[in-house]
Amino acid sequence: MKYVVCVAAMTAMAFLAACTEGARDRGVSPAGAGAVYAAPAPTVPASIDFGPPQGEPIHAVLASPPHVPPPIQRNYPARVIVDLEVIEKEMPIADGATYTFWTFGGTVPGSFIRVRQGDTVEFHLKNAPGNKMPHNIDLHSVIGPGGGAAASFTAPGHESTFTFKALHAGLYVYHCATTPVGMHIADGMYGLILVEPPQGLPKVDHEYYVMQGDFYTTGDYHAKGHQSFDMQKAIAEQPTYVLFNGSEGALTGANALTAKTGETVRLFMGNGGPSLLSSFHVIGEVFDRVWLDGFAHPQEDMQTVPVPPGSAVTVQFRTTVPGTYALVDHAIFRAFNKGALGALKVDGPENKAVYSGKLADAEYTGDHDAANPQVAAPAVNPPAAAPLTREGQIAAGKQLFDGICAACHQANGQGLPGVFPPLAKSDFLAADPRRAMSIVTHGLSGKIQVGGHEYDSMMPPLSQLTDDDVANVLTYVINSWGNPGGQFNAKEVAKARAGSAPVVVAEH
């Protein structure tokens, strides 16, 4: 828009000087002589020097994801001291898999920083003595060469200090910019700094901190044990994992974000990259307001928000209907096959006028369509350390069943007549239990008989499940709902996976 306006002004050749960022601040219209520029209700001036810091210096309160420091109550610019320590440490990246992350403050993403527009930030970057690498910080809210990178270059066991004035209000990414930059970012070195506008942000019930990143490990998705950084995969931009908050499951299950119905939720969502653009979406919600980077002009009623690497958005919505809402990168294989899945659990009374839930399931004899799997839970694995007992396998398998299989085979394995065969008291399963391993890893299609009824449908291969996952879920199934009992292990699953598609002998 601004570009179009400036082109128009350039043809008039009179107001060329107005074609700058400053046009809005000076209250000059680039389009009309002497007219007062009436910007569309600017809630925040773009960039203003608020004068020198006042009062005593203040120590910033930092927060670890998914938490956010409290809103700022000050009405004057201050000198704000930020102490941030770089820590290189091993942490889980998925169940049973670890990675050596490089962190700002011990977490991925790094500590959340919150200041007020006009504040002078006195930044202390500390590189922990046990670390192996030098690091620095480039904050996108800094106006100055490198965003602070050169000024903050710090060897292990050292501390660098520099100051900057937060001239622009907005939500900004910070990251390490030490060579090789891509590797420092891929190892988790990014976070967010919120520069609040002087009047603050509208009050909400919940504020959360979520950041996406792509990770490149030497092993495959869900490979167990310690994983190293894979430079070739990183250069090819082919991540093993795409994650919210640095590990699979960081925002699901017991770690899900929470709210009650009728509450307002604000997510500060950033993308550290290094490479993939996020198509950020919350399944089952529409964002009331979305601010891209700065807070001047919100977009309303948005479904999916593009968040490029090195950028951040603030999204806000009101919860209405109880349930679990999945946070995803809508480039959807990343959500279900690379880990980019989070959850917001909303508790409260039903609101049948807004959402009825399923009202009826009637027979339909037209062309039947393939199954429509519901949101699958991420694969839940027991830690690799000790092999599980049968009871442990059953417990782990139940979680997987509820998250993945139940979408089709239903909660108690009873199936849906004519569409999804029952796994409860399944004579088809009992006739050849070992065959189930190839069914899960290869999928199944074609006519089968279960419990005297014919099914001619399709089960997709569930190739995102590891050998352990498959062994556990089948051990659960074979020991539930009147099935004959037994046990499966990862080794035989691996064999079945390497073998051919399931053989179904027609029953007479």
Quick check: 175 binds Cu ion (CB under 5 A)? no
Q: Which residues pair with 329 in a beta bridge?
A: 280
455 binds, among Cu ion, ligand HEC, none (CB under 5 to 8 A by kind): ligand HEC
Span from 151-159, 233-241, 384-392, 421-429 in contact with ligand HEC (CB under 6 A)? 421-429
First to last CA, the chain: 71
Between CA 92 and CA 245 the distance in angstroms is 12
Between CA 275 and CA 166 the distance in angstroms is 27
Nearer to ligand HEC (CB atom), residue 311 or residue 483: 483
421 binds, among ligand HEC, Cu ion, none (CB under 5 to 8 A by kind): ligand HEC
Phi, psi dihedral angles at 121 (to 5 degrees): -95, 120
Nearer to Cu ion (CB atom), residue 178 or residue 438: 178
Taken in order 100, 101, 102, 106, the sign of the CA dihedral is negative
In this structure, are residues 93 and 99 in contact, taking their beta carbons and an 8 Å threshold?
A: yes
Nearer to Cu ion (CB atom), residue 176 or residue 408: 176
How far is C-alpha 48 from the geometric centre of its chain's CA atoms? 33
Nearer to ligand HEC (CB atom), residue 209 or residue 420: 420
249 binds, among Cu ion, ligand HEC, none (CB under 5 to 8 A by kind): none
**DSSP character for 257?**
E
Half-sphere exposure of 249 (CA within 13 A, CB side): 15
In the bound complex, what is the minimum distance in angstroms from residue 494's beta carbon to ligand HEC? 16
135 binds, among Cu ion, ligand HEC, none (CB under 5 to 8 A by kind): Cu ion
Span from 83-91, 104-112, 190-198, 446-454 in contact with ligand HEC (CB under 6 A)? 446-454
Helix (H) or strand (E) holding 112: none
Q: Name the residue among 72, 81, 78 with its Cα closest to residue 53.
A: 78
The number of residues that bind ligand HEC (CB under 6 A) is 32
Span from 37-45, 214-222, 310-318, 444-452 in contact with ligand HEC (CB under 6 A)? 444-452
Quick check: 377 binds Cu ion (CB under 5 A)? no
Nearer to ligand HEC (CB atom), residue 152 or residue 426: 426
Quick check: 189 binds Cu ion (CB under 5 A)? yes
Nearer to Cu ion (CB atom), residue 104 or residue 428: 104
Nearer to ligand HEC (CB atom), residue 304 or residue 410: 410
Q: Are strands 299-302 and 323-329 parallel, antiparallel or unpaired?
A: unpaired
Q: Which residues contact 70 (CB under 8 A, 6 or more apart)?
A: 61, 114
Span from 39-47, 111-119, 344-352, 432-440 in contact with ligand HEC (CB under 6 A)? 432-440
Between CA 312 and CA 299 the distance in angstroms is 14
Quick check: 139 binds Cu ion (CB under 5 A)? no
Quick check: 423 binds ligand HEC (CB under 6 A)? yes
Quick check: 276 binds Cu ion (CB under 5 A)? no
How far, CA to CA in Å, does 339 sit from each of 95, 241, 279, 441? Answer: 11, 6, 14, 19
In the complex, which residue's CB is closest to Cu ion? Answer: 176
Residue type at 201 in one-letter notation = L
Which one of 24, 114, 116, 135 is in contact with Cu ion (CB under 5 A)? 135
Span from 67-75, 146-154, 197-205, 469-477 in contact with ligand HEC (CB under 6 A)? 469-477
Nearer to Cu ion (CB atom), residue 173 or residue 437: 173
Between CA 206 and CA 223 the distance in angstroms is 35
Q: Which residues pair with 124 in a beta bridge?
A: 83, 161
Contacts made by residues 198-203, CB under 8 angstroms, sequence distance 24+: 198/44, 198/50, 198/75, 198/116, 198/117, 198/118, 198/169, 199/43, 199/44, 200/71, 200/72, 201/71, 201/266, 201/295, 201/314, 202/316, 203/71
Quick check: 448 binds ligand HEC (CB under 6 A)? yes
Quick check: 178 binds Cu ion (CB under 5 A)? yes
Quick check: 10 binds ligand HEC (CB under 6 A)? no
Taken in order 171, 175, 177, 179, the sign of the CA dihedral is negative
Between CA 339 and CA 210 the distance in angstroms is 14
Nearer to ligand HEC (CB atom), residue 290 or residue 450: 450
Quick check: 176 binds Cu ion (CB under 5 A)? yes
The number of residues that bind Cu ion (CB under 5 A) is 5
Nearer to ligand HEC (CB atom), residue 201 or residue 478: 478
Phi-psi region of 290 (alpha: psi -120 to 50; beta: other; left: phi over 0): beta
450 binds, among Cu ion, ligand HEC, none (CB under 5 to 8 A by kind): ligand HEC
In the bound complex, what is the minimum distance in angstroms from residue 252's beta carbon to ligand HEC? 18
Write the binding mask 372 to 411 for ligand HEC: x where contact by CB under 6 A, - elsewhere: -x------------------------------xx-xxx--
Quick check: 439 binds ligand HEC (CB under 6 A)? yes
Q: Which residues contact 472 (CB under 8 A, 6 or more apart)?
A: 382, 388, 393, 394, 396, 397, 400, 488
Taken in order 378, 382, 384, 388, the sign of the CA dihedral is negative
Interacting residue ranges for Cu ion, rule: CB under 5 A: 135, 176, 178, 184, 189
- Contact residues: ligand HEC, CB under 6 A: 371, 373, 404-405, 407-409, 420-423, 426, 428-429, 436, 439-440, 444-446, 448, 450, 455-460, 462, 473-474, 477
